[in-house]
A and B are shown apart, each in its own frame.
Chain A
Amino acid sequence: MSSGETLPAAQAGTVESMDCLVTIAASSGGRRIEISGSGAARFRSAMENKIIQVLDSLGGPGDLSVTVQDNGALDIVLGARVEAAYLRFREAMLR
Chain B
Amino acid sequence: MRRTMLYLPGNNPNMLLRGHLFGSDGLIFDLEDAVSRSEKDSSRILVREVLRHSGFDGREVTVRINGLDTEYWRDDLAAVVPCRIHGIRVPKVDTPQTIRDLDDALSALESRASVPIGATKVFCLLETALGVWNAYDIATASPRVTAIIPGGEDLAADLRTSRSKEGTELEWIRRMMIVAARAAGVDALDTVFPSVTDEEGLRREALFTKQLGFDGKSVIHPAQIPIIHEIYDPTEAEVEKARKIVAAAREAAARGLGAVSVDGRMVDLPVVRRAEFTLERAGAMTEGGAR
Residue numbers of A with Cβ under 8 A of B are: 12-14, 16-19, 73-74, 76-77, 79-81, 83-84, 87-88
Contacts and interface: CB of A to CB of B under 8 A. Distances in A.
Given A16-B14, A19-B13, A19-B14, A76 B41 contact: no
A30 B147 CA distance: 53
B12 A81 contact: no
A84 B14 contact: no
A33 B50 CA distance: 24
Nearest to A73: B13
A38 to B, nearest CB: 13
B42 A81 contact: yes
Chain B interface, DSSP helix/strand/loop, else mixed: helix
B41 A74 contact: no
Interface of B: 11-14, 17, 41-42, 45-46, 48-50, 52-54
Given A76-B50, A76-B53, A83 B45 contact: yes
Most buried by A among B45, B48, B52, B53: B45
A14 B45 CA distance: 14
Nearest to B48: A80
A84 B42 contact: yes
Given A84-B41, A88-B41, A18 B14 contact: yes
A12 B42 contact: yes
Nearest to B15: A18
A43 to B, nearest CB: 16
B12 A16 contact: yes
A20 to B, nearest CB: 9
A19 B14 CA distance: 7
Contacts of B54: 76
Contact of B49 (A13, A19, A76, A88): A76
A81 B41 CA distance: 10
